[in-house]
């Protein structure tokens, strides 16, 4: 029995259940590169404009690997989209997946997946369940509400992460960045997690590279805001 440990980087990026500041009212899409890069400069500016610090990771990524055991020939596969877990080299032979993720990723019914004929980040769990793979979803401790918010379209066992060590080894590891859900300003920590992975072999599935975040871009936007407000005030007093 081949066991796969799946980690979505958004597992480590806390989002509030209710955002009274509307700063987390974000759209998400993997179809447009702007949603993975440029949009985060605008979102960062919104926090700074409100005199709030940029939200960071939960810190649980530190020492994360120490909680697991791995087979001697364990291989790491990584990329941006969680849909890459459906790639043959990742899923072949896998009978069980433990998925550490903010979402359950079974948002479509089997009939809908068959009709679409495409496996995406929102339905890979449905597709693998259809292939006979058992999936257990571990959700972050800060997101108990997510279990109540939506139900998967196929049977998936869902629990809040007990934050303990596990003694059953994994044979494969998959990590996705989910760049449309996770900001560029925590990018370095994602790559630190990948680098710290104890797998002897690492395979980049889609040629993913580090994204950059330039705080100067947000400062420029804020400066433009200031100039605009000053101009509006001048016109108001004329």
- What does the pLDDT look like over 3-39, one tens digit per residue? 999 999 999 999 877 665 577 767 666 766 756 788 8
Assign 155 a pLDDT band (cuts: 50, 70, 90): very high
| Arithmetic mean of pLDDT over the chain | 90
Position 16 scores a pLDDT of 78
pTM check: above 0.95 = no
Evaluate if residue 160 carries a pLDDT over 80: yes
Q: Give CA 191 to chain center in angstroms.
A: 13
Rounded to whole angstroms, the maximal C-alpha distance in the chain is 77
Position 158 scores a pLDDT of 95
Higher-pLDDT residue of 78, 39: 78
Evaluate if residue 237 carries a pLDDT over 80: no
Residues 98-133: tens digit of each pLDDT: 999 999 999 999 999 999 999 999 999 999 999 999
* CA distance to 25, 99, 107, 146, 159, per residue, from 127 (Å): 29, 14, 11, 21, 21
User: What helix, strand, coil percent values describe the chain, rounded to 5?
Assistant: 40, 20, 45
The tokens for 184 are 């560029």
**Percentage of the chain exceeding pLDDT 90:** 70
3-state class of 153 per DSSP?
coil
Position 223 scores a pLDDT of 78
Position 145 scores a pLDDT of 80
Position 85 scores a pLDDT of 98
Q: Give dist(CA 169, CA 198) in Å, integer.
A: 13
Residues 6+ apart with CB under 8 A from 88: none
The tokens for 133 are 């793979």
Position 235 scores a pLDDT of 72
3-state class of 112 per DSSP?
helix
Give one DSSP letter per residue of 65-99, joined into a string: GGG--EEEEEEEEEES-GGGGGSHHHHTTEEEEEE
Question: What is the average pLDDT across 131-138?
Answer: 98
Dihedral of alpha carbons 138, 68, 77, 127, sign: negative
* CA distance to 46, 222, 236, per residue, from 233 (Å): 22, 16, 5
Question: What is the average pLDDT across 188-215?
Answer: 96
Higher-pLDDT residue of 21, 153: 153
Evaluate if residue 200 carries a pLDDT over 70: yes
Assign 150 a pLDDT band (cuts: 50, 70, 90): confident
Number of neighbours of residue 51 by Cβ within 10 angstroms: 6
Q: Give dist(CA 175, CA 155) in Å, integer.
A: 23
Question: Quick check: 101 and 81 in contact, CB under 8 A?
Answer: no
């Amino acid at each position: 029995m081949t066991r796969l440990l799946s980690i979505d980087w958004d597992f480590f990026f806390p989002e509030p259940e209710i955002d009274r500041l509307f700063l987390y009212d974000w759209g998400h899409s993997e179809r447009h590169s702007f949603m993975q890069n440029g949009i985060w400069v605008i979102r960062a500016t919104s926090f700074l404009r409100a005199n709030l610090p940029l939200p960071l990771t939960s810190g649980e990524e530190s020492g994360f690997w120490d909680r697991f055991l791995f087979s001697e020939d364990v291989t790491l596969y990584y990329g941006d989209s969680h849909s890459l877990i459906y790639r043959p080299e990742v899923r072949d032979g896998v009978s069980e997946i433990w998925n550490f993720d903010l979402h359950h990723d079974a948002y479509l019914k089997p009939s809908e997946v068959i009709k679409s004929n495409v496996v995406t980040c929102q339905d890979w769990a449905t597709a693998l369940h259809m292939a006979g793979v058992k999936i257990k979803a571990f959700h972050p401790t800060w997101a108990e509400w997510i279990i109540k918010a939506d139900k998967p379209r196929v049977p998936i066992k869902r629990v809040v992460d007990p934050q303990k060590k596990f003694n059953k080894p994994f044979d494969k590891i998959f990590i996705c960045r989910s760049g449309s859900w996770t900001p560029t300003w925590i990018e370095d920590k994602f790559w630190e997690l990948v680098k710290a992975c104890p797998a002897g072999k690492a395979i980049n599935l889609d040629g993913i590279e580090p994204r950059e975040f330039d705080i100067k871009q947000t400062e420029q936007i804020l400066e433009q805001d200031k100039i605009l407000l000053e101009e509006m005030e001048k016109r108001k007093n004329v």
